[in-house]
Amino acid sequence: METDLKRRILLKGSLTASALGVAVAAGLLTPQRVLAAWPDKAFAAKTLPEMLQELLGDGNTEESGDINIKAPDIAENGAVVPVTISTNIAGAESIAVVAINNPAPLIASYNLGEGAEGFVSTRIKMGKSGDVIAVVKSGGKLYSAKKGVKVTIGGCGG
Amino acid sequence: MAENSIKIRAKLQEDVTTVKALMTHPMETGSRKDKDGQLIPAHYIQEITCESGGKTLLTAFWSGGVSKNPYLSFKFKGGKAGDMLKLSWMDNKGESASEEVEIS
Please name every residue paired with A142 in a beta bridge, in sequence order, or none if there are none: A137
Q: In b/e form, how buried is each residue of B69-95, taking b as 16+ CB within 10 angstroms?
A: ebbbebbbeebeeebebebbbbbbeeb
Higher-confidence residue: A99 or B4?
A99
Can you give the pLDDT at residue A37? 87
Interface of A with B in 44-103 (CB under 8 A): 79-82, 84, 99, 102-103
Q: How far is A89 from chain B (nearest CA, A)?
A: 15
Count other C-beta atoms under 10 Å from residue B98's C-beta: 18
pLDDT at position A72 is 97
C-alpha–C-alpha distance, residues A129 and A75, integer Å:
9
Instruction: Determine contact, residues B78/A114, Cβ cutoff 8 Å.
Output: yes
For an interface test with B, give the residue of A68, A84, A95, A121 to mutate (most B CBs within 10 A). Answer: A121
Q: How confident is the model at residue B26 (pLDDT cuts 50, 70, 90)?
A: very high
CB contact under 8 A, A156 and B49: no
pLDDT digits (tens, 9 = 90+) for B47-100: 999 999 999 999 999 999 999 999 999 999 999 999 999 999 999 999 999 999
Give the closest-approach CA distance of A130 to chain B in angstroms: 14
If one counts every other C-beta atom within 10 angstroms of the C-beta of residue A7, the result is 10
Beta-carbon separation of B56 and A112 below 8 A: no
Is A119 in Cβ contact with B67 (below 8 Å)?
no
For chain A, state the CA radius of gyration.
Answer: 18
Burial of B20 (0-12, 13-18, 19+ CB in 10 A): middle
Show me where the domains of chain B are located.
Answer: 6-102
Of the CATH numbers 2.60.40.10, 2.30.40.10, 3.40.50.970, 3.30.565.60, which one belongs to the domain with range B6-102? 2.60.40.10
Low-confidence ranges of chain A (pLDDT < 50): 1, 15-18, 20-21, 23-34, 158
Output phi, psi for A122, to 5 deg: -145, 165
Is residue B69 within 8 Å of residue B90, measured between CB atoms? no
Neighboring chain A residues of B58 at a CB cutoff of 8 Å: 110-113, 116, 120
Confirm if A75 and A150 have CB atoms less than 8 A apart: yes
Q: What structural domains does chain A harbor?
A: 2-33 (no CATH), 40-151 (2.60.40.2470)
So what's the pLDDT on residue A33? Answer: 41
The per-residue pLDDT for A44 is 96
B82: Cβ contacts below 8 Å, ≥ 6 apart: B102, B103
Minimal CA–CA distance to B26: which of B56, B5, B52?
A: B5
